[in-house]
Amino acid sequence: MEIKDRVALITGTRRIGSVVAVELARRGANVVLSYNRSRDEAEAAASEVRALGRRALSVQADVSKAAEVQGLVRRVVDEFGRIDILVNMASIYRFKPFAETTEQDWNANMDINLKSAFLCAQGVVPVMKANGGGRIINFADWIAASGRPRYKGFLPYYVSKAGIVGLTECLALELASDQILVNAIAPGPILAPPDLTEDEDREVRRATPLGRWGGEIEIAKAVASLIDTDFITGECIRVDGGRHVH
C-alpha cells in the first residue's frame, strides 16, 4: 500500500508514537493522533505533521472503552472520509511483584494493552472494507514474541502482550479476504527509560548483540514497511537489535 495521501490513526502517541506519526507524515500520510492523557505530546506531534504539509488531528479518547472508540472512528471519518491505517500503540508497562498484583492491575493491562487493540480494529474494519482494504499494526513486546518470560514482576503485562500476538494472527485470518493486512511489531531496547541507571544501561547494551538502543525511528521504519507490504500478514516482527538471540 502506498502511504502517500492515506489516513493513519495512531493510538498512544507519547514518545515513540509521536515519532511514528511524524515519520508517516514525512512519507505523505495524513495523521490522527489519539491520546488519553498526553494532550501536549499529541498536539506537538500534530503541529510537526502540519509543518510537513500534511493534515493532522488530535483526539482525546479512552480506547479501552467501546463507546469512545466508536466516537473516535466517527470523528476521523467525518474529518477525513476514510481510515486506511490503524497503529495500535496504546499501552502501559508497570513493574509489580506477583504477590502484590491486584485485580485492578490485571484489568488495566488487559484493557489498555489488549482490549483496546481489539476494539479499535473492530471500529475501523468497516471503514477499511468500504475503501477496499487497509493495514492494522499492533504492538507486542520482544519477550512475549519470543514465547518465554524473562523478567519477574510483569505478569499481566506479559500475558496481555502475548494476547496481542494471538489477536494479530486471528485478525489476519479473519480479514485477509477483505485485503486488510494485520501484523505486529515487538519492540526491544528502543528508548532508554528516563530513570535508568548507568549500570542498567550498560547491561542492556551488553545483552543486545548490536550493542546499542535502537531509537524511536527504528519503530517508525518498521511501521512504514508493514504498511508498504502487500503480502505479509499475521506476522509479529521483533525490532530488538538481536536481543532475542542473545
Give the residue numbers annotated as catalytic, written as ranges. Answer: 157
Check: CB of residue 226 under 8 Å from CB of residue 135. yes
Phi, psi of 63 (to 5 degrees): -75, 5
State the Cα–Cα distance between residues 71 and 28, nearest whole angstrom.
Answer: 26
Sign for the pseudo-dihedral over CA of 38, 236, 177, 175: negative
19 three-state secondary structure: helix
Check: CB of residue 217 under 8 Å from CB of residue 19. yes
* Residues in contact with 110: Cβ distance below 8 Å, sequence separation at least 6, in sequence order: 156, 159, 160, 163
Check: CB of residue 184 under 8 Å from CB of residue 237. yes
As given in the structure block, the three cell numbers for residue 161 are 502482550
State the Cα–Cα distance between residues 118 and 121, nearest whole angstrom.
Answer: 5
Strand partners, 135: 85, 181
Residue in the block written with cell 475503501: 131
Taking Cα atoms as reference points, which of 14, 164, 138, 158 lies closest to residue 95?
A: 158
